[in-house]
Structure 1
Amino acid sequence: MSSSAFSNLPDAQGFFGRFGGQFVPPELKAVMDDISAAYEDIRQRDDFQQELAMLLADYVGRPSPVFYARRLSEKLGGARIYLKREDLNHTGAHKINHCLGEALLAKFMGKTKVIAETGAGQHGVALATACALVGIPCEIHMGQVDIEKEHPNVTRMKILGATLVPVTRGTATLKDAVDSAFEEYLKDPQNFIYAIGSVVGPHPFPGMVRDFQSVIGREARAQFLEREGRLPDRVVACVGGGSNAIGMFTAFLDDNEVQLVGVEPAGDGLDTDRHAATLTLGKPGEIHGMACYVLEDAEGNPLPVHSIASGLDYPGVGPQHSYLKDLGRVDYQSVSDQECLDAFMTLSRVEGIIPALESAHAVAWAIREAPALSPEQTILVNLSGRGDKDADYVADKLGL
């Protein structure tokens, strides 16, 4: 597969192969096309790129380091495990990378309000932060279940000045928050902008969010080469919507010697109805304005899904991930809630790093696979966020 096969995607209609596109009402298509045109304009401008680069360095604290988890590697035996420390970014996760870009785009377009959904709350916190920085009102829709699980992030959003809208319909989780936010956006799409929190939704968002997140992989690739003199054998990241994973994978897509692994939530088990393993058990469909793999019932409605990690609790997935699954370029596997919890505690107590429950899925995969590999082999994990938001929930669950 040549680099052009990846770098030229999405196409002009927003498709990655058969996935992606713009499955929206005609009146909304014009608005999406305006956003696409504005993004294509702003991304070519030196002043925009310079301002974004300055903020990523001086505000976010990039580049985030690559850390050799020596004690964890020695405890497990086998492959050496490295962590790309996105948890050290301002606001505590990778989400700030694209939220700054989206907030600057909203400012450029003269929008009067930024609307978004959030699951674990990291996108909500990052967007509230970015909107405070550029001076645009921000409204965040969040499922009631997630509000109760992620109380620290709820407090942070309110302190930052965001309006928080609790969503109690359906399963009161991420999918329902997306529906609620989209309905609010449709009230005035000319003046509002919906800042989607992952590489999902109608074109141009999957490609745009990927572009903003690709800084993760560019940094990690250069850092690993400088440190090891070669590329990692395996690069792994958790996948819900898939922004942190696509941000990491993009820099390695043409390095065929590097195995790319996306880790989905198996929840209570793939043989139950309490999981969110979309790429593992889903089928091609449509959700939230895009074609992608979807977990759906016989009537084509999205299924209720489950993950201990609120940010992975989604019945769809980014269209580029769907494309990469069909190509076989990325190996999508899954990790259970229990494996995630074990990894959360292991990394905390062996390396002194408390990971987000989302990120702990990728850590769990590394913990599971490393012992069977040789010490000459390496695993690079994208540690997409820190676990402050999850600490009380985990402590209660484990009786700590």
Structure 2
Amino acid sequence: MQQAIDLQPDAHGNYGPYGGQYLPPHLKAIMDDIGRAYLSIRDTEAYRSELNDLYTHYVGRPSPIYLAKRLSAHCGGARIWFKREDLNHTGAHKINHCLGEALLAKHMGKTKVLAETGAGQHGVALATACALVGLPCEIHMGEIDVAKEHPNVTKMKILGAKVVSVDRGTKTLKDAVDSAFDEYLRDPEHFFYAIGSVVGPHPFPMMVAEFQSIVGREAREQFPKQAGKLPDVVAACVGGGSNAMGLFSGFLNDPGVRLVGVEPSGVGRETGKHAATLSYGKPGTLHGFHSYLLQEVKEGEPDPVYSIASGLDYPGVGPQHAYLKDIGRAEYYAVDDAACLDAFMTLSRLEGLIPALESAHAVAWAMATAPSLGKDADILVNLSGRGDKDADFVAEKLGL
């Protein structure tokens, strides 16, 4: 019998050898304060009641599970299902943890909430949550992503957030993180850095994973009611890894269910233009935590990364994923830009669902894998976001 997997961190915020707090003492003290504040309110009736009420009446949870019949027939083999996180208010899974972080920041008496964003979904969700709780919000976004994901930039501004365009380095997500962290360091006592994935120093990987676990809990209850059994595979895209951890959490201790994370191989490993951290990286330290890191160019330094999906172009990955990879509980594969675009268009035209480019990586893997699994198999994909933000970019790229 498989030993039960408990993805709670140890006292130092580690998941096996990964995670932790690689920070100067004064920042470690602030992170510890955040951790204590979170643990002190996490299970209180007032906090849980407020958050659950918002999930139900504001976000629109539970999100449904949908059987994509035409896509399944097109691919042949396994049935392909979607957990419809794209139907959440703000269009993605990000709102699940942004509401929790914004409520925590308000509870702690913080005066400003800061964040990075790649595709803009975390930025929009956090700007929404901050508007709801009445806190100023500042979002840092790479200059390339500002141009590429302009609809989300407009939404953030309408919601009252200050958007900082970052022109350093590769002008993408990693540099947005650096910029936002620089601003956070100006006044960490009063500012709150709302990290947008299961990355960063403890307690953020733990907190974000717990907020996103609602996805897995719902799916674990919903799927057998609709399909009569558990899925054979659950799959999700992985950049930092929050949407995947959310879905995986519901099935960790179901040994018959494969857990599959899908990373971006961009235009190929040989070109260096990819962001497939778990596929090609090795252990290293970045942004205050230890995990797998892309460091092929120079040992100990993060590589420049690329993905057609702005939300996936990060050189690290959540420590929980690194641990799951090492113990063999989760599998990780890489999908290139061409397959991602094909999945984006195929899903749109067969099912009337326009997926985020991030989510389209997982859709592409499911489409490629379904024929080999047989007609009695089921693949559940986390459709983590909708593609409104990507529509103009894709149309221009494909000449539509």
Q: Please say if 1:260 is aligned against 2:246.
A: no
Alignment partner, residue 332 of structure 2: 332
Counterpart of 1:271 in 2: which secondary structure?
helix
Post-superposition offset of 1:44: 1.9
Provide Cα deviations, 1:214-271, integer angstroms capped at 9, x if missing partner.
0001001110011122110000000000000000001111111001100000000123
Alignment partner, residue 91 of structure 2: 92
Alignment partner, residue 152 of structure 1: 151
- What amino acid sits opposite 2:184 in the alignment? Y
Counterpart of 1:240 in 2: which secondary structure?
coil
Counterpart of 1:252 in 2: which secondary structure?
coil
Counterpart of 1:226 in 2: which secondary structure?
helix
Alignment partner, residue 388 of structure 2: 388
Provide Cα deviations, 1:322-341, integer angstroms capped at 9, x if missing partner.
00010110000010000000
Q: C-alpha distance in 2, partners of 1:268/1:44?
A: 45
- What amino acid sits opposite 2:348 in the alignment? S
Figure out how many residues of one structure are paired with residues of the other and give that number.
398
Provide Cα deviations, 1:182-220, integer angstroms capped at 9, x if missing partner.
010011010000000000000000010000000001001
Q: C-alpha distance in 2, partners of 1:213/1:44?
A: 16
1:1-400 aligned within 5 A: 1-3=2-4, 5-7=5-7, 9-296=8-295, 297-400=297-400
Q: What stretches of structure 1 move > 4 A for 4+ residues in a row?
A: none
Q: C-alpha distance in 2, partners of 1:193/1:11?
A: 24
Q: C-alpha distance in 1, partners of 2:185/2:114?
A: 11
Post-superposition offset of 1:272: 2.1
Q: C-alpha distance in 1, partners of 2:378/2:11?
A: 37
Post-superposition offset of 1:299: 3.7
Q: C-alpha distance in 2, partners of 1:298/1:241?
A: 21
- What amino acid sits opposite 1:253 in the alignment? L
Q: C-alpha distance in 2, partners of 1:221/1:72?
A: 23
Q: C-alpha distance in 2, partners of 1:272/1:376?
A: 39
Provide Cα deviations, 1:323-376, integer angstroms capped at 9, x if missing partner.
001011000001000000000000000000000000000000011011122110
Provide Cα deviations, 1:266-303, integer angstroms capped at 9, x if missing partner.
00012320000000000000000000000013342110
- With normalisation by structure 2, the TM-score equals 0.99
Which consecutive unaligned segments of at least 5 residues does structure 2 have? none
Counterpart of 2:270 in 1: which secondary structure?
coil
Counterpart of 2:397 in 1: which secondary structure?
helix
Q: C-alpha distance in 1, partners of 2:396/2:43?
A: 49
- Please tell me the root mean square deviation across aligned C-alpha atoms, in Å: 0.7
Q: C-alpha distance in 2, partners of 1:324/1:313?
A: 21
Post-superposition offset of 1:19: 0.1
Q: C-alpha distance in 2, partners of 1:311/1:257?
A: 30
Q: C-alpha distance in 2, partners of 1:299/1:370?
A: 38
Q: C-alpha distance in 2, partners of 1:381/1:269?
A: 24
- What amino acid sits opposite 2:57 in the alignment? D
- What amino acid sits opposite 1:179 in the alignment? D
Q: C-alpha distance in 2, partners of 1:254/1:6?
A: 9
Post-superposition offset of 1:159: 0.2
Counterpart of 1:105 in 2: which secondary structure?
helix
Q: C-alpha distance in 1, partners of 2:55/2:179?
A: 30
Q: C-alpha distance in 2, partners of 1:12/1:122?
A: 31
Post-superposition offset of 1:2: 2.9
Counterpart of 2:122 in 1: which secondary structure?
helix
- What amino acid sits opposite 2:330 in the alignment? V
Which consecutive unaligned segments of at least 5 residues does structure 1 have? none
Q: C-alpha distance in 1, partners of 2:394/2:99?
A: 30
- With normalisation by structure 1, the TM-score equals 0.99
Provide Cα deviations, 1:18-39, integer angstroms capped at 9, x if missing partner.
0000001111011000000000
- What amino acid sits opposite 2:89 in the alignment? H
Counterpart of 2:253 in 1: which secondary structure?
coil
- What amino acid sits opposite 1:294 in the alignment? L
- What amino acid sits opposite 1:308 in the alignment? I
Percent of aligned pairs with the same residue?
69
Post-superposition offset of 1:12: 1.1
Q: C-alpha distance in 1, partners of 2:258/2:87?
A: 25
Q: C-alpha distance in 1, partners of 2:46/2:28?
A: 28
- What amino acid sits opposite 1:113 in the alignment? K
